[in-house]
Chains A and B, each alone.
Chain A
Amino acid sequence: MRIEHLSLHNFRNYARLEASLPSGPILLYGANAQGKTSLLEAIYYLATSRSPYTTSDRQLINWNVERDMFAFTKIGAEVVSANQVMNRVEVTLTAGTDGLNGAHLQKNIRINGVARRVMDLIGQITVVMFLPQDLALVEGPPAERRRYMNITLCQTDVVYCQALNTFEKVLSQRNALLKRIAENEASPDQLDYWDDQLITSGAILMAGRQRLLRELEVKARRVHHDVSGGDEDLELQYRPGFAATASSSSGQLSFNVLGLDLNRQLNADTIAEQFRDRLTGIQGEEITRGMTLIGPQRDELRLMVNGHDLGLYGSRGQARTSVMSLKLAELEWMHDTIGEWPILLLDEVVAELDAKRRAFLLERINNANQVVLTTTEPDIFTPDFLAHTARWHIHQGQIISTSD
């Protein structure tokens, strides 16, 4: 898969950009704050309909037009898949008539000129993005790791994506209801419907995550083995959020305790059964505390090296290498899952690696049909790599020179 043409209107500091993208690696270089990362962000946005950097779409609109009556931003791309089919995807964000103050943005999606929903956008472009912030996958809070699993799975699995959507709504309704029951404003028999919905959608999430991590682990382990010269054994440990209750002090009561074998692929129905059992058992406590206590919103993923928890005992360098292994595994996993190479986006990560790991990474990414990298220092790349790489100089929201 590759993007043949990218067009931006009022996106970040790009007033207008029309660019044809070659296949292979494209290196964006230039000083800070010129728009290198924004270009990656635009591609990522088209793939996932969200930004990797901000939760507010408003920030994506060029600040020059922000006060305009009809402030808008438009991102469009022509994508060519492995079997040479070309699709045109386009996302437009429009502010209301009162400018950007108050009114929310309207998001319009067109695929080949036809208006579609956000759900239809997913899968049109698949990306793997690797940022310096991804270190949070090891060091950050569990929410970061759940977000990672959600984004990876959503890109490849529509059923998962819909389940996630349902789950989030059900969870807030159920929490509100539990709170009302705790305050004697509602009766527990009203929980049944929300329980059913929580179990059905939650089990799909847990089954999807378990499958993802099992498949990813095989690949990540191999990559990590190669990069560490055989010294390190990387493990991805899935801990379903079944047990993080007040009564279980370890917080580690896993599927094993429930009679489920995590080394075997579980289907959503098996998980649903166990989920329901646990949920029934814990109802009293949930009502007392006024919130949902178990479920995929409490899931955890731990990265282990040679049996030690990396988040607790790992060094900075180990963490960085492990995240790189995970990302390279993800690239391969996407390829196996969707049947073609996703687009790889690397933001400034190359500069953070030592020479050995940098060489390793640059060699491995050659697999992808298209890789977009950003850097402030093009000199850190070897002449060999630069010889087959398109180099674009980005300056103040424009591509001022290209060498293909």
Chain B
Amino acid sequence: MSKAVPQPVTQLIDAFSRLPGVGPKTASRLTYYLLRAPDEVSQSLADALADLKTHTRFCSVCHNITENDPCGICSDSNRDTSQIVVVEEPLDVLAVERTGAFNGLYHVLHGAISPVEGVGPEDLKIRELVQRVENGNTLEVIIATNPGMEGDATAMYLQRQLAAAGVKITRLARGLPTGGDLEYVDSVTLMRALQGRHEM
């Protein structure tokens, strides 16, 4: 960055370009937009950023990101406490919520087992899940980790850890996308769908 650009500007550009999906060009565009925009725009952005960390925390029950502890879902008395969906990331909770088909509780692991990236079971919220299941009135744990190698490794590990708790353990089905065309489905997916077929 040349000396023609004032230091507060370069500072913001640098900060933006550290964000995922933002390159140096987008970072400059955002910065110069904020320079020209009314003061309120940058002020509200600054407030939002400041609140982001100070007013959020992890729910002590499900480890999702929340404003109040326990979170809105965990403290909702209308939800079915006998079922827990286990997901890798907070965004996965939103995905399941969007279906509107689940009224139980969640547990966010914050990752999946991947030795290459140095992530082992102890780095995830697995111990917390086991405790929660052992001490609560859970009847079913639905494992909804991603259908890849790391997600599968995590699922298998969870199954072992929860075996002693005596609850039903299920895994999300994998198979054909709705509205898809059979002839365009790749063979691995089709094979899985065949293995996971169910009686009508």
**8 Å CB contacts to B: which residues of A101-139?**
114, 117, 119-120
Inter-chain CA distance A170–B149, complex, in Å, is 8
Nearest opposing residue in chain B for A120, CB measure: B186
Is residue B113 contacting chain A, with contact meaning CB distance below 8 A?
yes
CB-CB under 8 A from A117, the residues of chain B are: 186
Tell me if A176 and B115 are in contact (CB < 8 A): yes
Q: Known contacts A97-B23, A117-B186, A174-B115; is A194 also within 8 Å of B120 by CB?
A: no
Tell me if A190 and B113 are in contact (CB < 8 A): yes
Is residue B7 contacting chain A, with contact meaning CB distance below 8 A?
no
Interface mask (B96-131 → A, CB under 8 Å = 1, otherwise 0): 000000000000000001111010110000000000
Cβ of A351 to closest chain B Cβ, rounded Å: 42
Is residue A354 contacting chain B, with contact meaning CB distance below 8 A?
no
Is residue B152 contacting chain A, with contact meaning CB distance below 8 A?
yes
Inter-chain CA distance A176–B121, complex, in Å, is 14
Tell me if A180 and B120 are in contact (CB < 8 A): yes
Is residue A177 contacting chain B, with contact meaning CB distance below 8 A?
yes
Q: Known contacts A166-B149, A173-B115, A176-B116; is A193 also within 8 Å of B156 by CB?
A: yes
Q: Known contacts A97-B23, A98-B23; is A162 also within 8 Å of B188 by CB?
A: yes
Is residue B54 contacting chain A, with contact meaning CB distance below 8 A?
no
CB-CB under 8 A from B32, the residues of chain A are: none
Tell me if A173 and B157 are in contact (CB < 8 A): no
Inter-chain CA distance A189–B149, complex, in Å, is 17
Inter-chain CA distance A190–B122, complex, in Å, is 11
CB-CB under 8 A from B23, the residues of chain A are: 97-98
CB-CB under 8 A from B120, the residues of chain A are: 180, 185-186, 190
Tell me if A172 and B187 are in contact (CB < 8 A): no
CB-CB under 8 A from A185, the residues of chain B are: 120
Hey, which bits of chain A sit against chain B, CB under 8 A? 97-98, 114, 117, 119-120, 158, 162, 166, 169-170, 172-177, 179-180, 185-186, 189-190, 192-194, 197
Hey, which bits of chain B sit against chain A, CB under 8 A? 23, 25, 113-116, 118, 120-121, 149-150, 152-153, 156-157, 160, 184, 186-188
26 contacts between A and B (CB under 8 A): A97-B23, A97-B25, A98-B23, A114-B184, A117-B186, A119-B186, A158-B187, A162-B188, A166-B149, A170-B149, A173-B115, A173-B149, A174-B115, A176-B115, A176-B116, A177-B115, A179-B115, A180-B120, A185-B120, A186-B115, A192-B156, A192-B160, A193-B157, A194-B115, A194-B153, A197-B149
